[in-house]
Each structure stands twice: as structure tokens, then as C-alpha cells.
Amino acid sequence: MHDFDLIVIGAGSGGVRASRISARHGARVAVIEESRPGGTCVIRGCVPKKLLMYGSAFSADAADAAGYGWRVTVDGHDWPALISAKDSELDRLEGIYRSLLGNAGVELIEGRGTVTGPHSVSVNGREITAGHILIATGGWPQIPDVPGLADHAITSNEALDLPDRPDSVLVYGAGYIAVEFASIFNGFGIETHLVYRGDLPLRGFDEDIRLQSAEALAGRGIILHPGCTLTEVTAAGDRRIAALCNGSRLDVAQVMAATGRAPNTAGLGLEAAGVELGRGGEIIVNPDSRTSVASIYAVGDVTDRIALTPVAIAEGHALADSLFGGRPRQVSHHNVPSAVFTQPPIGSVGMTEAQAAKAFDKITVFTSKFNAMKNTLSGRSEKTFMKLIVETATDKVVGAHMLGPDAGEIMQGIGVAVIAGATKADFDATIGIHPTAAEEFVTMRTPRA
């Protein structure tokens, strides 16, 4: 009766996965995208961010190389060449996304879709219908109401496409995006200010990690302005003048607002269709990703559950299996590992110490802070920090956190152990791989007093 079994609005990570897997299960699927297939992660987020992060890390590598006998002369940096190489890679990935959809038999409709009813969507002036509709429209940077900020600041969208390398940047905020971009700018030799209202960056992370991270970011040369808000931003030619609440003024080439992201739900026709939204505009869903309208679902950042690409992919895949694969299942949002790609990076899984102290009668905490072997010859003064949080009664490791080189890579494996319910005794029984930093996770013997 319907044109399709599933119409997906948004060809980002969650929407594409749901489309492909649904089609593989035999469903007739259309996916509507108003921008470029790939979405935030591939086009405006994780992928270009990580490419710039790789690029920015070479300055520290070059500095470290001297201690190992290399005579390295860094002869400037060709910013337009980097942006152009990054753009070519994104074009390639967008092409892959398009062919993944095409090969799966999914119809890609380029345009803006709006929901017109429980089973109908309007796109490019025509109405199409489906048994199920999935909203996977992601999120968008939000800018607080500070005079001049919206007019004169860039967001992560523009920061990835700057035509020239700025000499100085003020990054406003201290969440994932703020600290990652501050690290990128700083790595490229750009004078970088991080202005944030809290006393430490990365609210929500373990307090020790926040503390170590602030030290490490400052140690790398980022100028931290904790406990500060912006009161006004003005333009003076191509410069930006930012007034801080402590009365100081910063004259910089760019101000970047990294003050959070809001779900993309405006103008999608959701309220009219009866889809319940939360106070931040997020789509309210149940554990099956079903909205208040039985035939309409939502996955990914637009639901504001956990705004991470692999979570959106898992939600999209589970929905496709549930609707069309005869295998109804839900995604656990518990113990989701994540990394912050600062320099040095952070990896984290499970509870923070504060959360564990609240959840359990007694916890045992193990920490280790050491100078990584690579720093000995390079002379870099930067500590690696690791922390394990154990529920004392069961001996289960309920949280693991790290700041140091390769933290994201290391934490993926630790995440498996935590999900599997590994105990501290299991960690202790694991032989270390020597010499690595990761072995410290299996050799922490003495609890913190």
C-alpha cells in the first residue's frame, strides 16, 4: 500500500546504517538527505577533525625527534594543501556512502524531508509514504546569546574549512569539541585561548582526568581561561575582539563557539505529526527508539541519548533488525567507551569516581601517574595518567580512565573487559605487554589511600 517500507530522514551514520540493513533484510527503503550523505561524522565531525588532529600532531613529533638524534627543521606549514587533501578524502568517503546505499538498493532522495503524517513525508514537492519513518537528522552547533558571538564566531563546521591558517584563535567552551579543536589549533602553532565557565574542562569526565587534562593542555601551550564567560565579541577589520567577564579583552583572528550542539528537529513537521519533543528539542524515544507516534522512530544525536557515532550506528542497526530482520533487540547505553582526541588524548569507559562512590557502598581506586618511556629521550615533560575504579564488594572494575598517548586505542580493549564484567583480579592475572604504557592497567597493585 505504501511507496516504501521505511523512509529515513538523514543520511548520517545512524540513518545510513538503518537504511542499508533494512534493505538487506528485504525492506523497500528511501533515505532523504538535504546535504551530503555521510552526515556529521563523515562530513563535519569525527573524520575531518581526526585528519586535522593527525596533521597537527606532527609539530610535537618533530620537537620530540631531536632527543632521538634527528636534526629536524620544520619549514612552515601549507594550510590550504591540508584543507584540500582533507576535502578530497571527504569526497571519496561521500562517494563510498553513496555507493553503499546504491548497492544495498536504497533510494537516495536529495532534498529536505518533512513529516506530514504518521506514514507520510513530503520531499521536493511530492508526498511519499511508508510503513515506518525514521528520523536521523543529528544535531547542529548552538551558540549562546552573547552580544556579537553569533555574528562573529565560527563553529566546528567552519573551523574545518578555514581557507587560511589563523594566527590566533579563542575557543569558547570546554567540552569534547572545544578541547579537541584547541589541541588542533595549538598543534599547528596557532596561539590558542580556551575560555570556559567551569573551573576545569570536560565536565562529566572523572575529576582526576579533568585535572590532568587541564595541566596537559596548558603544558602543550594552550592558554586556559577557567571560570570565564564571554560578554561581547566585536569585529575590527578581520580581527575579533572578545571581552571576557573578568574585564580582559583578547584580540584574535578567530573566535570559535564550541558551546554544545542542539538536536535538528526544527521545521521537520514533528510536532504537527504528534511526535513528542523534550525541552532541548530532542525527540523522546523508548528503548526501541520508537517515538510517541507508533510508526515513527528516531536514532542518533537527534534523540540526545549519547551523541557518539558508534552509538547512532548501533541504534540504527538494532532498529533495522527489529523492524525487518525478525530479531527485535535494543542497544545498551551502559558502559559506552569514548575518547577525546586532544593532545595527549583521553580514553574513558564506565563510571567516574564520583558516580561509583554514589552507586556503591565501597569502592577501591587505583591510580598511576608516570612519565612515558618515549618522553625520556625527547625530554617532553608530560605525565600519563591512568585510573581504575573497582566496586570493593564484587571486585568488579566499574570504571577505567586514561590520559596519555594512544588512550583511545587502549580504552577500546579495556572497554571489552569492563563490558564482560572483569574483576580487578582478572586485570591482575593478565600479563602485561612490555614495554607499553597500557601494561600499567594490569600492574596497578596498591590502592590509592
Active site amino acids:
434
> Does residue 213 bind ligand NDP (CB under 6 A)?
no
CA neighbor of 347 nearest in space, from 196, 188, 212: 212
Asked if omega into 80 is within 30° of 0 (cis), the reply is no
Q: For ligand NDP, which is the closer residue by CB, 33 or 180?
A: 180
> Does residue 339 bind ligand NDP (CB under 6 A)?
yes
Total of chain residues touching ligand NDP, rule CB under 6 A: 23
Kindly indicate which of the ranges 167-175, 208-216, 359-367, 410-418 contains the residues binding ligand NDP, using the contact rule CB under 6 A.
167-175
Q: Which of 4, 196, 385, 441 binds ligand NDP (CB under 6 A)?
A: 196
Q: For ligand NDP, which is the closer residue by CB, 140 or 360?
A: 140
Q: For ligand NDP, which is the closer residue by CB, 173 or 325?
A: 173
Q: Which of 97, 176, 185, 205 binds ligand NDP (CB under 6 A)?
A: 176
Return the residues of window 124-163 that contact ligand NDP according to CB under 6 A: 144
Return the residues of window 240-259 that contact ligand NDP according to CB under 6 A: 258-259
Q: What is the CA radius of gyration of the chain?
A: 23
> Does residue 178 bind ligand NDP (CB under 6 A)?
yes
> Does residue 203 bind ligand NDP (CB under 6 A)?
yes
DSSP 277-293: B-TTSPBP--TTSB-SS
Mark 287-326 with x for binding to ligand NDP (rule: CB under 6 A) and - for no binding.
Answer: --------------------xx------------------
Helix (H) or strand (E) holding 323: helix 309-324
CB 48 within 8 A of CB 38: no
For residue 83, the one-letter residue type is I
Q: For ligand NDP, which is the closer residue by CB, 245 or 393?
A: 245
> Does residue 340 bind ligand NDP (CB under 6 A)?
yes
Report in angstroms the alpha-carbon separations of 194 from 166, 167, 361, 383. Answer: 15, 15, 38, 21
Closest separation in Å from C-beta 178 to ligand NDP: 6
CB 14 within 8 A of CB 300: yes
Q: For ligand NDP, which is the closer residue by CB, 17 or 424?
A: 17
In the numeric block, the cell 562517494 is attached to 95
Which SS3 state, helix, strand or coil, does residue 420 take?
coil
**Looking at 158-246, which runs of residues are DSSP E strands?**
168-172, 191-195, 223-225, 230-236, 239-244
> Does residue 188 bind ligand NDP (CB under 6 A)?
no
Q: Which of 122, 129, 229, 335 binds ligand NDP (CB under 6 A)?
A: 229
Burial 342-355 (b: 16+ CB within 10 A, else e): bbbbbbbbbbbbeb
The Cα–Cα gap between 377 and 183 comes to 23
Grid cell of 80 as nine digits = 590550504
List residues near ligand NDP by CB under 6 A. Answer: 144, 173-178, 180, 196-198, 203, 229, 258-261, 307-308, 338-341
